[in-house]
């Protein structure tokens, strides 16, 4: 079975908790799956994907991991941690300028021993794959064999991590004696959503899987998800029917754009922290859960009773600009 083709890096299964007070506020049963607790150094959703990607790297005798992301990329930090743990090297291609203030994920990247190259946003958009290929060639001159993981580990093999997570959810709901009829997550590079969507379909489960994009727009992500679903099918050999209209990307919540916060999002994060003792991140889960709650209030989720939100992590991504927006 393809899903056994992984190494163990994450603390699984992650628990599912009911948010009693938020449920009362909204008149719906709201649950949260704590994928922010998959680990400490590796915390968040990316390590589920790395369990599959890094297995492929090891099977190919690689001793270096190359990946890319924003300067505060959770994925880059998780990759650096995994590489250190496994005795591999890591090389991160980060979008932006070298930050004099070492903070958050970028600080941990350094602490974990990653080699880092900064590139401009233009280079990142147009040329990051080639730049990673060039680094791979340079590393081979040093005698290393490198494996390239794309942004967010969102390709066919990485997305298996969230196909696997969907099976975990199905098992947990059986044990809990409930049925989640809506499952929601944030969408950044699309692998988390695609894996969940695929797992839901391929098992014949009939939950609606919602993805709330925190950058880009619906049309863009429909393309991304469609192509990831085709890649998943290629990996597993298990067909599903792909109907573009049935891909539930909920647009409207990127706000001011990637990693830029609005006061209402930050207020919402503070509200959830003080209501439920759960800390969301400003880049992904804060925006996505804010969007989910707005949609519930608008009535979009009226036909659902038990709604599961995936907390995909991101706590290390808080930066000075976002922190200074909070009145404490």
Ligand X SMILES: *Cc1c(COP(=O)(O)O)cnc(C)c1O
User: Among residues 69 and 139, whose Cβ is nearest to ligand X?
Assistant: 69
SS3 readout for the chain = CHHHCCCCCCCCCCCEEECHHHHHHHCCEEEEEEHHHCCCCCCCCHHHHHHHHHHHHHHCCCCEEEEEEECCCHHHHHHHHHHHHHCCEEEEEEECCCCCCCCHHHHHHHHCCCEEEEECHHHHHHHHHHHHHHHHHHHHHCCCCEEECCHHHCCHHHHHHHHHHHHHHHHHHHHHCCCCCEEEEEECCCHHHHHHHHHHHHCCCCCEEEEEECCCCHHHHHHHHHHHHHHHHHHHCCCCCCCHHHCEEECCCCCCCCCCCCHHHHHHHHHHHHHHCCCCCCCCHHHHHHHHHHHHHHCCCCCCCEEEEEECCCHHHCCHHHHCCCCC
Q: Which residue is nearest to ligand X (CB)?
A: 314
187 counts as binding ligand X under rule CB under 6 A = yes
Site for ligand X in 46-75 (CB under 6 A): 74-75
Applying CB under 6 A, does 261 fall inside the site for ligand X? no
Q: Which is nearer to ligand X, 89 or 313 (CB)?
A: 313
Nearer to ligand X, 163 or 193 (CB): 193
Minimum separation from the CB atom of position 255 to ligand X (A): 15
159 is catalytic: no
Sheet holding 29-34, edge to edge: 16-18, 29-34, 306-311, 182-187, 208-213, 248-250
CB of 46 to ligand X, least distance (A): 6
Q: What does the per-residue mask of binding to ligand X show for 150-169, with x meaning CB under 6 A?
A: --x-x---------------
Please select the residue that binds ligand X; options are 39, 104, 156, 188, rule is CB under 6 A. Answer: 188
Minimum gap (Å) between residue 50 Cβ and ligand X: 12
Task: Check binding of 322 to ligand X (CB under 6 A).
Answer: no
Nearest approach, Cβ of 310 to ligand X (angstroms)? 8
Q: Residue 139 or 229: which CB sits closer to ligand X?
A: 229
189 is a contact residue toward ligand X (CB under 6 A): yes
Query: Any contact of residue 45 with ligand X (CB under 6 A)?
Result: yes
Q: Figure out which of the listed residues 235, 253, 268, 284 binds ligand X, where binding follows CB under 6 A.
A: 284
- Judged by CB under 6 A, does residue 313 bind ligand X? yes
**Choice between 139 and 309, CB closer to ligand X:** 309
> Choosing from 23, 43, 53, 73, which is the catalytic residue?
73
Residue 82 in contact with ligand X, rule: CB under 6 A: no
Active site residues: 73
């Amino acid at each position: 079975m393809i899903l056994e083709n992984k190494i163990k890096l994450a603390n699984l299964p992650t628990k599912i908790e009911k948010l009693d007070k938020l449920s009362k506020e909204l008149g719906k049963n709201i649950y949260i799956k704590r994928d922010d607790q998959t680990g400490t150094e590796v915390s968040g959703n990316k390590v589920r994907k790395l369990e599959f990607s890094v297995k492929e790297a090891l099977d190919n005798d690689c001793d270096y991991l190359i990946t890319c992301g924003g300067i505060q990329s959770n994925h880059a930090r998780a990759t650096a941690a995994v590489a250190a743990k496994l005795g591999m090297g890591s090389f991160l291609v980060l979008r932006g300028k070298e930050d004099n203030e070492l903070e958050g994920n970028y600080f941990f990247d350094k602490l974990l021993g990653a080699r880092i190259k900064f590139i401009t946003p233009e280079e990142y958009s147009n040329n990051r794959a080639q730049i990673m290929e060039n680094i791979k060639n340079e590393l081979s001159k040093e005698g290393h064999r490198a494996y390239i993981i794309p942004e967010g580990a969102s390709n066919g093999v990485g997305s298996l991590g969230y196909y696997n997570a969907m099976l975990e959810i199905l098992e947990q709901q059986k044990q809990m004696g409930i049925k989640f009829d809506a499952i929601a997550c944030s969408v950044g590079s699309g692998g988390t959503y695609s894996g969940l969507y695929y797992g839901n379909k391929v098992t014949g489960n009939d939950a609606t899987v919602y993805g709330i994009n925190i950058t880009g727009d619906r049309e863009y992500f429909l393309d991304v998800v469609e192509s990831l679903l085709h890649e998943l099918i290629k990996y597993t050999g298990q067909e599903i029917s792909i109907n573009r209209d049935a891909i539930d990307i909920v647009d409207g919540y990127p706000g001011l754009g990637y990693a830029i916060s609005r006061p209402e999002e930050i207020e919402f994060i503070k509200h959830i922290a003080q209501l439920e003792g759960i800390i969301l991140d400003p880049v992904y889960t804060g925006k996505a859960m804010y969007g989910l709650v707005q949609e519930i209030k608008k009535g979009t989720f009226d036909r659902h009773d038990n709604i599961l939100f995936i907390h995909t992590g991101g706590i290390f991504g808080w930066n000075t600009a976002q922190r200074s927006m909070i009145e404490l």
